[in-house]
Amino acid sequence: MNHFQYKDGELYAEDVALSAIAAAVGTPFYCYSTATLERHYRVFADAMQKDALVAFSVKANGNLAVLKTLASLGAGADVVSGGELKRALAAGIPGEKIVFSGVGKTKAEMAAALKAGIYQFNVESEVELLALDEVAGAVGVTAPVAFRVNPDVDAKTHAKISTGGAETKFGIPWSHVHAAYATAAKLKHIAIVGVDVHIGSQITDLAPFETAFTRVVELVGELRAKGHAISRIDLGGGLGVPYRNDNLPPPDPAAYGALASRITKDTGARLIMEPGRLIAANAGLLVACVIYVKQGEKKQFLIVDAAMNDLIRPALYDAWHEIVAVAEPKPDTAWTRYDIVGPVCETSDIFAADRPLPVLKSDDRIAILSAGAYGATMSSAYNARPLAAEVLVKGGEWAVIRPRMDDDALFGNDRIPAWLG
């Protein structure tokens, strides 16, 4: 469920008309619903064990206002860079609720995380482990560690967001796990606390989770038998969301939570979950304005002022997003089919092909739905296009939470060398 609905002939975010926001801030812009963020977080958290740490995946949506909204509900954070760590802390998420994942943590990032007192490092290689031990020694603390293990489970999702196979860059290969824990146990500045697994994103079937979680629980027993103090199990994220109206809905959080609880109940371990897309995707949309309607040889192109630099998912993953008119179609409105494209100088700058929409004209507005996760965070200024504004709505109020990029931000940091005059 989300809180974007037609009222009085136009699309609203909660109690605010998107057309009113567009008139004030221009297009394109992202709009997020506080009520949807809150509802999705609570539904997920309520489905988990009472002491579980729900660490929102900052890479999905790192806007400080979004993070602060979730922090106020008790959310932690899963970060994969020093910048995301800074964002989480700035939003009020305490270090003891932050988990640091990622294959390429630098020593500077490790030091910053240790000084912030983070809850756990999810270590993804033996070489990273040795670097962390060195940094922890220099800082004068012990680093809490869970190894991210690679269970070689096919999540049956898009190849570019599948992370649990044997030959992905993520995690410790299953055959190396025991050796990695044995090495960690010998290091002076490392404290083994848990096991971590994350098999991919946008997973719509519980079966791969069941396979991976079962393997991890068996591993926990083996590690404990060898004397390792495993008190936490990080089950990662990856639970999918419905992007199309005609999709069969993915498993609901209650079913996922019941599965996780059933498989891990005899371990006595604290669970960590890292949802991102599930909470943020359907809490946001991207509003764009029609520039031109262009008639091709056999098709019509709806050329809008948003582009692949604003929302790259369709170009990168062939991702589907529902697209609707901001003005509610009347019963007698004529419909047609468009290729919906942006102005970027790439053939891949297309949001949808042969998509039915009401007949539209220049200056009409559309909304690209389910854009609250991996939308703004993956955007760029390609083609010297300024980053879109971001807006947060709460009831009848709204606020700009990231202004549209101005010229100083767009090219003000460029430097012309002296020899060019």
Residues 74 and 179 in one domain: yes
**Rounded Cα distance, 19 and 8, in Å:** 12
Q: Please tell me the distance from the alpha carbon of residue 47 to that of residue 42, in angstroms, as a whole number.
A: 8
pLDDT digits (tens, 9 = 90+) for 136-175: 999 999 999 999 998 877 544 444 444 444 456 678 988 8
Residue 339: per-residue pLDDT: 97
What is the pLDDT, as a whole number, of residue 42?
96
Domain closes at, from 279, 295, 324: 279
Q: Which residues pair with 284 in a beta bridge?
A: 32
Helix H, strand E, coil C: the string for 147-178 is EEEECCCCCCCCHHHECCCCCCCCCEEHHHHH
Range from 2-6, 167-171, 255-259, 326-330 carrying the lowest mean pLDDT: 167-171
- Domain boundary (218, 244, 279) is at 279
**417 in a domain, yes or no?**
no
CATH number at residue 272: 3.20.20.10
Q: Label residue 200 by pLDDT band (50, 70, 90).
A: confident
3-class state of residue 193 by DSSP: strand
**Annotated catalytic, 289?**
no
Q: What is the pLDDT of residues 271-312, one digit of tens each?
A: 999 999 999 999 999 999 999 999 999 999 999 999 999 999
Which of 345, 416, 418, 420 is labelled catalytic?
A: 345
From 250, 244, 286, 289, select the one nearest 377 (Cα to Cα).
286
The count of domains in the chain is 2
Q: What is the pTM of this model?
A: 0.93
For the chain, how big is the Rg over CA atoms in Å? 23
Provide the token pair at 299.
Answer: 């098709």
**Residues 373/391, Cβ–Cβ less than 8 Å:** no
Question: Are 271 and 362 in a shared domain?
Answer: no
pLDDT digits (tens, 9 = 90+) for 52-111: 999 999 999 999 999 999 999 999 999 999 999 999 999 999 999 999 999 999 999 999
Closest by alpha carbon to 85, among 105, 65, 69?
Answer: 105
**Pair (67, 22) in one structural domain:** no
For residue 420, being part of any structural domain is answered with: no
Find out whether 67 and 392 touch, Cβ atoms under 8 Å.
Answer: no
